[in-house]
Amino acid sequence: MKTIATVLSFLSLLLSISLGVTAQNTPTVPVIDGIANKTTITEKKPLSYAWVRESDIAWSRRVWRVIDTREKMNQPFYFPEVAHNNWKNLATVLLDALQEGKLTAYDASSPTDEFIVPLSYSDLMKRLQRKDSMHLQRSKPPYEYYDTLITKTFNAGDVKRFRIKEDWFFDKQRSVMEVRIIGICPVRDNIDDKGNIRGNDPLFWIYYPEARPILAKAEVFNLKNGAERRSYDDIFLKRLFASYVYKEENVFDRKITEYSQGIDAILESDRIKRELIDFEEELWQY
């Protein structure tokens, strides 16, 4: 009888301790990391484009740009390096959507930048892996040196540039000049075995209209006002980024660097941007 009473007392003690711990770990007030629940971005839908007929496009020009996230205005594309509170950098947003099957990645090795060859997420990750050769010494006698390959998984922080393909056009039905982004391509540095940067590697293309519902729900840091967070779709739609043109459609299908170098390439890029602005201004007579 004494044994049963002891066991019951011990069990009741354990039960009271567990209930106390549970009560201590349960918050009495719902935790909100801020002043109020932020639902403006998470429930947002992209603004629909105006319908445009092919016969209403009186003029068009396709250009390719580079967004360098190392520029101050473009830093919201690169940060945060660690995602939190629905706040992710653009590369992480795209990769997460690819992993969840909400987006389709297209092969970026084609020189025409077309959306032809779709890639699965597993195949894409295999392509993005890097293999570095290293010269190491064995830890046991005779301590000889040997070469080995080390596989490095892809890190979204390696993406410091984005290429965008866009169409500028004049809609004669509405009498407006507009620009529509067609695709986005993350780019990382091409690094050799010695750590030297020898160029850029385009990783994959994303069809922008497919990505708009996802980008509209992805929060971007506002450098001027923390209470008014924007989405990546807002940033692209309002053209709140700095970029330079590296190619325009031409009969030779050449990039600027294929026929101009150095300061001449910069001047050629500025000339293309100026032509787009001048074309719109010269449409009207005041």
The DSSP string of 48-75 is: PPPP--GGGEEEEEEEEEEEETTSGGGH
Predicted local confidence at residue 86, as pLDDT: 81
Report yes or no on 148 lying in a domain.
no
Mean pLDDT by 10 residues, the chain (286 residues): 59 59 59 76 87 95 96 94 89 96 94 92 89 73 76 87 97 94 94 75 96 95 84 95 96 94 95 93 79
Report yes or no on 173 lying in a domain.
yes
Report yes or no on 34 lying in a domain.
no
Report yes or no on 26 lying in a domain.
no
DSSP string, 84-133: BTTB--HHHHHHHHHHTTSS-EEES-STT--S-SEE-HHHHHHHH-EEEE
Report yes or no on 245 lying in a domain.
yes
Predicted local confidence at residue 22, as pLDDT: 46
Model pTM? 0.83
Measured between alpha carbons, how far is 174 from 93 in angstroms, rounded to an integer?
34
Report yes or no on 64 lying in a domain.
yes
Give the number of domains in the chain. 1
Report yes or no on 215 lying in a domain.
yes
Predicted local confidence at residue 123, as pLDDT: 93
Predicted local confidence at residue 21, as pLDDT: 45
Report yes or no on 163 lying in a domain.
yes
**Beta carbons within 10 angstroms of residue 247's beta carbon:** 21
Residue span of the structural domain in which 209 resides: 60-118+157-281
